[in-house]
């Protein structure tokens, strides 16, 4: 196309329509849920999926639904090759601490707020409108351009796996689900549970303080931002007040007829960057470190947690304090903890260096977790695409031309994107250097000006890679 400015003007003209579509998608609380009928990821995820496919149909694109496990919106090209825009429309739970309804799509001070605004509904809409603007401008792509819609990116990736078994694998693509300029390396990801049976009757001691139940966290890939613990035969108000005064953490103790309820409020963050949050589970375990509970297995667990995990973010005391030159240090996040009359279950999310393997991680922690059942939940191998790869070079050129930033180099992240699922694929935006990373956090937002800019960059990148 000789005059690409025409595409940019089209994107400017489509701004209000783009924001309206995004707002409609954010208003659907598409948190993954148990299967219901023909909806493998729950009714709300199905609703947002169908709504987005309808947008593609409205604008004259070909659409495809692969058994409700995922699908695509396609801009037909001249060859059989497929260029993928790998996106997702499911979101993590809203969590606490919002200043507005997370599913209202509030616009304020040039930002659109809502769960999914930056991860990943906003970038998905940006990539879609890049494709739409190119189509409206008369672009005739050589490759078929497919915006692939994932439905459980925030959980187990079963949808994208199913989709790729049924559909032809794209030859190249990018995922608008991370940072600019380009993510050429993603650390490996492991999720597992540590489980210990309580066997209440066999492990009682002379102490009467009973931890009846505890629930903490919302998802493995989020820093736990809440704990609710029910305690019998003790009022821990003085311990809580002293701890709050000493540390500044947010903890409440509510007295009941027979004991108390402790509520801890942490700060949520993405599990790949646990240092950006405050883990409520860690706060609770530190708070009660000197409390003698009636069950020795709970006491042993509290001691284990404080000694082996605590406020560390890199597995320092867990036997897995690994790092390498390409990708840096391992990231260690505790996502959830539950304690009931039968079990203690701790869910851990690890992002490990790109030159290591899953076996390295489990071998490293083997001695540390003696006495616990290790239940493997998920694993994603690392992604590495060389900086001199054609895809990386083109995307870097686009980034530099639009931003004037000639200093920032391709990045490494602990986050996991769909770029891992196909060959010759990396993450590209949407967060610009210097912008806040607010995914998985309360008051998540997308800067509207940045969204329009990234849409233009996506259009330019698609054009160069598909012409």
pLDDT band at 415; cut points 50, 70, 90? confident
Residue pair 213/296 in contact by the 8 Å Cβ criterion: no
Cis upstream peptide for 311 (omega within 30°): no
Mean pLDDT of the chain, nearest integer = 96
- State mean pLDDT over 112-125: 98
Residue labelled with tokens 């304690």: 339
- Comparing CA positions, the residue from 359, 360, 275, 274 lying closest to residue 324 is 360
Least confident of 15-24, 88-97, 204-213: 204-213
Rounded to the nearest angstrom, the gap between the alpha carbon of residue 225 and the centroid of all alpha carbons in its chain is: 15
Sign of CA dihedral 134, 135, 137, 139: positive
Catalytic residue chosen out of the listed positions 153, 179, 193, 439: 153
The CB-based long-range contact list for 38-43 (8 Å cut-off, 24+ gap) reads 38/68, 39/68, 40/68, 40/69, 40/151, 40/158, 40/159, 41/90, 41/151, 41/152, 41/159
Helices within 63-213 (DSSP H only): 121-136, 158-166
- State mean pLDDT over 267-285: 96
Diameter over CA atoms, the chain: 83
| pLDDT of residue 228 exceeding 60 | yes
**Residues 132-184 pLDDT 10s:** 999 999 999 999 999 999 999 999 899 999 999 999 999 999 999 999 999 99
> Per DSSP, what are the bridge partners of residue 71?
65, 149
Least confident of 56-65, 195-204, 240-249: 195-204
* Both structure tokens of 374: 């290790």
Q: What percent of the chain has pLDDT over 70?
A: 98
By DSSP bridging, strand 323-324 and strand 328-329 are antiparallel
Distance, CA of 457 to CA of 395 (rounded, Å)? 9
Sorted by sequence, the CB contacts under 8 Å of residue 359 that are 6+ apart come out as none
**pLDDT score of 98:** 96
Distance, CA of 421 to CA of 424 (rounded, Å)? 10
User: Domain 193-380's class?
Assistant: alpha beta
Other Cβ atoms closer than 10 A to 403 = 15
Distance, CA of 368 to CA of 315 (rounded, Å)? 11
**pLDDT score of 87:** 99
Residue pair 56/128 in contact by the 8 Å Cβ criterion: yes
Cis upstream peptide for 430 (omega within 30°): yes
Distance, CA of 121 to CA of 170 (rounded, Å)? 22
| pLDDT of residue 241 exceeding 70 | yes
The CB-based long-range contact list for 311-319 (8 Å cut-off, 24+ gap) reads 311/279, 311/282, 311/286, 313/274, 313/275, 315/350, 315/364, 315/365, 317/368, 318/364, 318/365, 318/368, 319/364, 319/365, 319/366, 319/367, 319/368
| pLDDT of residue 3 exceeding 70 | no
Q: How far is CA 164 from CA 33, 71, 80, 137, 360, in A?
A: 22, 10, 16, 30, 28
Domain residue limits, the chain:
5-187+383-466, 193-380
pLDDT band at 326; cut points 50, 70, 90? confident
| pLDDT of residue 400 exceeding 70 | yes
Q: Exposure of 34 by Cβ count < 10 A (0-12 exposed, 13-18 middle, 19+ buried)?
A: exposed
Is 444 tagged catalytic? no
| pLDDT of residue 2 exceeding 60 | no
Phi, psi (rounded to 5 degrees) for 35: -55, 145
pLDDT band at 201; cut points 50, 70, 90? low
Residue pair 281/309 in contact by the 8 Å Cβ criterion: no
- State mean pLDDT over 281-302: 96
Distance, CA of 171 to CA of 168 (rounded, Å)? 9
**Residues 102-117 pLDDT 10s:** 999 999 999 999 999 9
**pLDDT score of 325:** 87
Is 81 tagged catalytic? no
* Both structure tokens of 455: 């849409």
**pLDDT score of 205:** 62
| pLDDT of residue 39 exceeding 70 | yes
**pLDDT score of 48:** 99
pLDDT band at 207; cut points 50, 70, 90? confident
- State mean pLDDT over 301-321: 98
Of the options 2.60.200.20, 3.40.630.10, 3.40.605.10, 3.40.50.10300, the CATH number for the domain spanning 5-187+383-466? 3.40.630.10
Other Cβ atoms closer than 10 A to 80 = 9
* Both structure tokens of 10: 């089209």
Catalytic residue chosen out of the listed positions 59, 74, 90, 186: 90
**pLDDT score of 1:** 55
Q: What percent of the chain has pLDDT over 90?
A: 93
């Amino acid at each position: 196309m000789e005059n690409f400015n025409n595409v940019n003007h089209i994107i400017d003209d489509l701004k209000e329509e783009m924001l309206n579509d995004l707002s409609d998608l954010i208003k659907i609380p598409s948190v993954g849920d148990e299967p219901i009928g023909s909806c493998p990821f729950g009714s709300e995820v199905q609703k947002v999926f169908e709504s987005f496919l309808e947008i593609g149909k409205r604008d004259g694109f070909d659409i495809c639904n692969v058994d409700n496990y995922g699908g695509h919106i396609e801009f037909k090209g001249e060859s059989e090759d497929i260029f993928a825009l790998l996106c997702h429309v499911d979101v993590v739970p809203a969590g606490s601490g919002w200043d507005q309804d997370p599913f209202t799509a509030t616009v304020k001070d040039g930002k659109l707020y809502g769960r999914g605004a930056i991860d990943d509904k906003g970038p998905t809409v940006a990539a879609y409108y890049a494709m739409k603007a190119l189509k409206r401008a008369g672009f005739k792509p050589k490759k078929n351009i497919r915006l692939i819609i994932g439905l459980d990116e925030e959980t187990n990736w079963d949808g994208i796996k199913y989709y790729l078994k049924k559909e032809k694998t794209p030859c190249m693509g990018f995922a608008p689900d991370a940072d600019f300029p380009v993510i050429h390396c993603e650390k490996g990801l492991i999720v597992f549970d540590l489980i210990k049976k309580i066997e209440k009757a066999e492990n009682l001691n002379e102490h009467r303080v009973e931890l009846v139940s505890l629930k903490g966290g919302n998802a493995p890939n989020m820093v736990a931002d809440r704990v609710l613990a029910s305690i019998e035969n003790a009022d821990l108000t003085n311990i809580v007040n002293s701890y709050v005064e000493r540390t500044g953490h947010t903890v409440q103790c509510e007295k009941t007829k027979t004991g108390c309820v402790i509520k801890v409020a942490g700060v949520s963050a993405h599990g790949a960057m646990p240092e950006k949050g405050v883990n409520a589970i860690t706060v609770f375990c530190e708070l009660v470190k000197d409390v003698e509970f009636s069950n020795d297995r709970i006491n042993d667990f509290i001691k284990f947690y404080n000694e082996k995990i605590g406020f560390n973010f890199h597995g320092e005391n867990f036997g897995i304090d690994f790092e390498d030159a390409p990708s840096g240090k391992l990231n260690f996040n505790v996502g959830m903890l539950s304690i009931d009359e039968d079990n203690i279950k701790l869910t851990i999310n690890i992002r490990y260096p790109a030159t290591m393997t899953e076996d390295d991680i489990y071998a490293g922690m083997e001695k540390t977790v003696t006495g616990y059942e290790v239940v493997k939940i998920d694993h994603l191998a690392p992604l590495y695409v060389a900086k001199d790869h054609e895809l990386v070079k083109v995307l870097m050129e686009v980034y530099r031309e639009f931003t004037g930033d000639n200093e920032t180099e391709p990045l490494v992240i602990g986050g996991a994107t769909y770029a891992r699922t196909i060959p010759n694929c990396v993450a590209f935006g949407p967060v610009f250097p210097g912008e806040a990373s607010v995914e998985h956090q309360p008051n998540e937002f997308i800067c509207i000006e940045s969204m329009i800019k990234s849409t233009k960059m996506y259009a330019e990148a698609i054009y160069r890679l598909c012409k």
